[in-house]
Amino acid sequence: MSVADALLQFALVAALLTIIPGLDTVLVLRTAISNGRAPAFATAAGICTGTIAWGVAAAFGASALLAASEAAFTMLKVAGACYMAWLGVSMFIRTFRGGPALPSASSQGGPGARSAWLAGVTTSLLNPKVGVFYMAMIPQFLPQDVPPLLMGVLLPLVHNVEGMLWFAGIIVATQYARRWLQSPTAGKATDRIAGVVLVAFAAKIAASKA
C-alpha cells in the first residue's frame, strides 16, 4: 500500500465518520447558534487539534496501550464523561437563569475564541471513543517503510479537512437562521436540547467498555 492509497482509503472511512452526528457536531452547532461564526470555527479547530493529537498517539501505539489497559481507559472515560455531563448540565441549568450556558464569545476572537478552541480540544481529548477509533483504524493504513509519525499526522489531517468542510457547512447554514435561533424561546430550547444530548453522550461513554 502506497501513501496515496492509504490516504485515499482512509479518507473514505473518515468521511463516513464525519457525517454521522456526534458530540463534535453538537458542540459546533450550539456554539454557532449562541456565540457566532468565529467562535464556532474556533471550536471546530480545537476539535481538529485534538484529533491530530490522537492520530499521532495512535500511530505510536499509545492508543493501543490505552485500550489494553482497563485502568487507563476507565480513567479517561470517567474524565470525559464528567466533562461532557458538566457541559450538558450547565447548558440546561443556565436556561432557567436567563444567561448563556457557556461564556459568551465575541465574533472578533480574543479570549472568547480561545475559550471556544479550548472547549473543542478538551472535548476531543477527553473522548475515549476518538482514541479507540484511531487505534483501530490508523494501524491498518500504515504503509511499510513509512515513518509512523508522518502517517500519524497525514491521516488525521485528511480527517480534519473533511471535518472542517462539514463544520463550515453547518456554521454557514446556521448563520442564516441565527436571528430566529437566538430568540429567547428558541435559544433556551436549543440549549436544553444540546444539554440533554451532551448528558446522553456522557452516559454512553461512561457505560462503554471499549
- Which pLDDT belongs to residue 106? 40
pLDDT tens digits, 161-204: 998 999 999 898 887 766 665 556 655 666 677 677 767 767 77
Q: Where do the domains of the chain lie?
A: 3-207
Rg of the chain, C-alpha, whole Å: 18
Average pLDDT value for residue range 47-74? 75
Q: For residue 54, give Cα distances in angstroms to 95, 133, 152, 195.
A: 34, 9, 9, 26
Greater confidence (174 vs 65) lies with 174
- Which pLDDT belongs to residue 150? 82
- What residue has cell string 435561533? 181
- What residue has cell string 456522557? 202
pLDDT tens digits, 112-153: 788 889 989 988 888 777 777 777 677 667 777 778 778 878
- Which pLDDT belongs to residue 194? 66
- Which pLDDT belongs to residue 105? 39
**Contact in structure between 40 and 116 (CB atoms under 8 Å):** yes
Residue 155 has pLDDT above 70, yes or no: yes
- Which pLDDT belongs to residue 164? 92
Helix (H, G, I), strand (E, B) or coil at 43: helix
pLDDT tens digits, 85-114: 776 787 678 767 654 444 443 444 444 788
- Alpha-carbon span 11 to 15, nearest angstrom: 6
- Which pLDDT belongs to residue 21? 67
Greater confidence (177 vs 7) lies with 7
For residue 34, what is its C-alpha cell? 449562541
- Which pLDDT belongs to residue 107? 40
For residue 164, what is its C-alpha cell? 472542517
Average pLDDT value for residue range 38-66? 82
Q: What count of other Cβ atoms lies within 10 Å of the Cβ of residue 8?
A: 12
Among candidates 201, 36, 203, which has minimal Cα distance to 123?
Answer: 201
- Residue 88 — φ and ψ, nearest 5°? -65, -45
- Which pLDDT belongs to residue 111? 42
